[in-house]
Amino acid sequence: MSTATIARLKPYLVQLEKGKSYFWCACGLSKKQPFCDGSHKVTEFLPLKWVAEQTGEKLLCACKHTKAQPFCDGSHNSLSDTYAEAGEADGVGVVLVDYVAGEGGALKAKLDNGCYVIRVPESALSTLGTMKIYPVIGVVDGAKNLSQYQAVVATGQSPVLSYPGSDVVLFIVSGQGTVNIGHRAFPVSAESGVCIKPGEGFQITNKDAEPIAMNISVCPPCATPETLEQMPQVFDTSIPDRVQGVDESKQEAMADRFFQVLIGDKTHGTPVSQFIGEIPQSRAAHHRHLYEETITILSGEGFMWTDETKTPVKPGDTIFLPLKQAHSLECTSPDGMRLIGLFYPSMSPSINY
């Protein structure tokens, strides 16, 4: 069979109506993308008829190479050797935003539409036993689906924590130790993701002099963790493996960049997706996602861009991206930029529009 024509290299966002039939263009020739206009008649392709299961917005494939027809599965990103880059005109009129000191000395750069970058010095963290913690993203910041905390655990044991009713995902930024979940001990080290199910408690043990620095992401958002007297007996045995580190065999290419999902629905049965990625010195074209997202810079420097604003970013900074926020992350470091991203609900990080 011949290859379908690429209508364009990113999907179409369309509003669908539950129970209604649609015809998705499979040949790529339709002038009414992403739907069929009869142009396939000169090809061997047939349109795909399907009935929408829900009313709402969906991203329909326009590159015609998806393996999840008619929906975009991110395949469009691997059809080119280079990621779509921003043009000169994209920077015209964009305002450089400064960081402003807020609560406890945390610095925040407020970009468009509730998007922001936060830079939290350790002195701003509140003490919770051997742990120090700061809420970098929460409902008060405009987040609807996720919250995130920056935390540091000194030598010893953290309190037993629980975020009732929420899925919790940890990312160990530096240090090493053990995470106890429901009386099971999981060794962790830098660049590990950890999955904790709703109703479970967790406790960090650090036997080293070096503190453990980590992100605690909580979906749906939860304003404050509960500190418990004892570890609950709750442990979801259907997901026995809870830790995933960097594994080159699990990395997925996206043109000249890559990502690896550490925690997600396929690996850990959680609606939260956590991924680690690396981008080369470049500035991607603006794109959007159908989810709220948080990104923490692990190495490398650059700028976070939105339509009207931009601000410099460096290791340790956390970015909050509201739903559908147009954005791009520019890496100015010759050695590239490494980052950890997290979004909710779960899907492939390569699905963008």
- Residues binding ligand FES (CB under 6 A): 10-11, 61-63, 65-66, 72-76
Q: How far apart are CA 80 and CA 353, in angstroms?
A: 16
- We find the least distance from the C-beta atom of residue 216 to ligand FES, in angstroms, to be 32
Buried b / exposed e over 169-185, threshold 16 CB at 10 Å, is: bbbbbebebebbbbeee
Nearest CB to ligand FES, comparing residues 46 and 140: 46
- We find the least distance from the C-beta atom of residue 259 to ligand FES, in angstroms, to be 15
- We find the least distance from the C-beta atom of residue 55 to ligand FES, in angstroms, to be 22
Nearest CB to ligand FES, comparing residues 9 and 86: 9
DSSP string of 314-339, one letter each residue:
-TT-EEEE-TT--BEEEE--TT-EEE
Nearest CB to ligand FES, comparing residues 63 and 143: 63
Grouping H, G, I as helix, E, B as strand and the rest as coil, residue 152 is: strand
Is 272:220 a contact under the CB 8 Å cutoff? Answer: no
Nearest CB to ligand FES, comparing residues 29 and 63: 63
Q: Which residue is associated with the tokens 């008619």? A: 70
Is 32:62 a contact under the CB 8 Å cutoff? Answer: no
Nearest CB to ligand FES, comparing residues 74 and 277: 74
Grouping H, G, I as helix, E, B as strand and the rest as coil, residue 113 is: helix
Task: Please report, in angstroms and rounded to a whole number, the separation of the first and last CA atoms in the chain.
Answer: 28
- We find the least distance from the C-beta atom of residue 282 to ligand FES, in angstroms, to be 20
- We find the least distance from the C-beta atom of residue 307 to ligand FES, in angstroms, to be 22
